[in-house]
Chains A and B, each alone.
Chain A
Amino acid sequence: MAALAARETLGENAAISEPTKLAGGAMHDSWAADATVEGTTRELVVRVSPAGRADHEKTRREFEVLRVAFARGVRCPEPISVGQCETGEDYLVMSRMKGDSNPRQLVTAERFAAARTQLVEQLAEDLTIIHSITPGDVARAPGMRGAAPGEEPLSYQRRAVEELYRADLLNPHPAIEWAFRWLDGEIAKLERRGQPPCVVHGDFRIGNMLYDQEGLTAVLDWEGVHIGEPEEDLAWFCTRVWRFGMNHLEAGGIARREDWLRAYEHASGITINRERVAAWEVLQNIRWAEITMMQARAHLDGHTVSHELAAIGRRTAETELEILRLTGVGERVGCAG
């Protein structure tokens, strides 16, 4: 399948090496293959989605956004082609990027200490470029969800997260209900945003990038891309679940939250409202709590029988605790927690 997709892309004259399956990726299969055309060899990744899944639009959307991001200089795979095999599978062919993807090694290993320092700046630079992409720049990308005209991205996303939360609810969660009330109060206090909405990566976290000793080599996993505002990506990068145990470094386990925001402000020239980021971080934690519920539900419904997914369901409680910490409840009730 992967070889077929590569050949369809590069033509009959391309010599394609035997594809090897790449690790990771629960939603798709990815294959590495080398294609040689007229003496030049290109290292490729061919990502194939199973037939019958509604990935057609999503794959095209990712391709279009990657095309714009790559052209503007974001460190990301070069998208080469997108299409559908005769048997129905959607495929995306991209250049293969070098680098390591293990986030735990990145945040803890001594030999990556210099890379971590570099990464903060590099990620801020690339995120700035991503956020400079306007909805009009990606007009060809189908199904770019986002706030309706006149609606704030934060209010839009709060509504979207609540819809998912109500759909996946297994047990009542009074703490999350209260957090939605808290969030509404904060949103009401925030000044309306001055800048127009922009493209956001949607899943910008330390586990979705490749790195080497010099720092960032590629930003990956663009499936969550949509229209939003910069604070959305900045806050998701800080959520506790993606710190891989380095909890004192709130920004992805590699930097303090404040240093991360300053790096972004330095790269972009935009002043970031700390209250807005704080509201987004609470919302993003609710989103993660919702994901843990969805995964537990998949286990209980028997879609995917996995003790790993069931154990993730247990993480709902620690995410609720983080939400109560972030909203200042721990301090209010007089516990350091």
Chain B
Amino acid sequence: MRDRAENARDRWERFQFQVAANSIAILKREFEMEDGFMRAEWQGLDQLLGDERIPDAQTALATRLRQRNAELAERIRQGDFDGEAEDALLPHLWETILNKVRIASPNEIP
């Protein structure tokens, strides 16, 4: 894909091939890293929301992770993590976002 971008006929075509190449690179990193990152995120949520057994199947894990994040988002919105409770929340947010960026756009991490 990157070769095709190099040999593209014009700027538009080159851009399209570059975007496609980037998307493939993201999928590759997702395949290699996402499972570990999801497990780390689950453990972080255990600390904040209480322990819960982690689902075995990948799809069940993804679905439940989303639900738990919705719960966390709602509790942040309600003010449950204001003040000192922030000290537990912020490292989790930082690590989780950093992991997402490691997959989506690793160049953004110096």
Contact = CB atoms under 8 A, between A and B. Distances in A.
A333 B72 contact: no
A104 to B, nearest CB: 11
A317 B109 CA distance: 12
Contacts of B91: 333
A317 B103 CA distance: 9
A97 interface: no
A318 B101 contact: yes
Given A311-B22, A337-B109, A320 B77 contact: no
A310 B66 CA distance: 20
Majority SS at the chain B contact face: helix
B53 to A, nearest CB: 21
A320 B69 contact: no
A333 B94 contact: yes
Interface stretch (A42-50, A138-146, A257-265, A324-332): A324-332
A156 to B, nearest CB: 20
B90 interface: yes
B82 A181 contact: yes
B77 A314 contact: no
B66 A321 contact: no
B63 to A, nearest CB: 12
A324 B64 CA distance: 25
B69 A172 contact: yes
Contact of A178 (B19, B93, B104): B93
A208 B104 CA distance: 27
A320 B19 contact: no
B33 interface: no
Interface residues of B, number: 35
B73 interface: yes
Given A308-B16, A321-B101, A333 B108 contact: no
Interface string B67-87: 001101110110101100010
A181 B76 contact: yes
Contact of B104 (A177, A308, A314, A333): A314
A329 B89 CA distance: 10
A173 interface: yes
A174 B73 contact: yes
B90 A171 contact: no
Interface of A: 171-175, 177-178, 180-181, 307-308, 310-311, 314-315, 317-318, 320-321, 324, 329-330, 332-333, 335-337
Given A317-B101, A321-B108, 13 more contacts: A173-B73, A175-B93, A178-B89, A181-B79, A181-B81, A310-B23, A311-B22, A314-B105, A317-B103, A317-B105, A318-B101, A321-B97, A324-B93
18 contacts: A171-B69, A174-B73, A174-B89, A177-B74, A178-B86, A180-B77, A307-B19, A307-B20, A308-B15, A308-B16, A311-B26, A318-B101, A321-B101, A329-B93, A332-B90, A333-B94, A335-B98, A336-B110
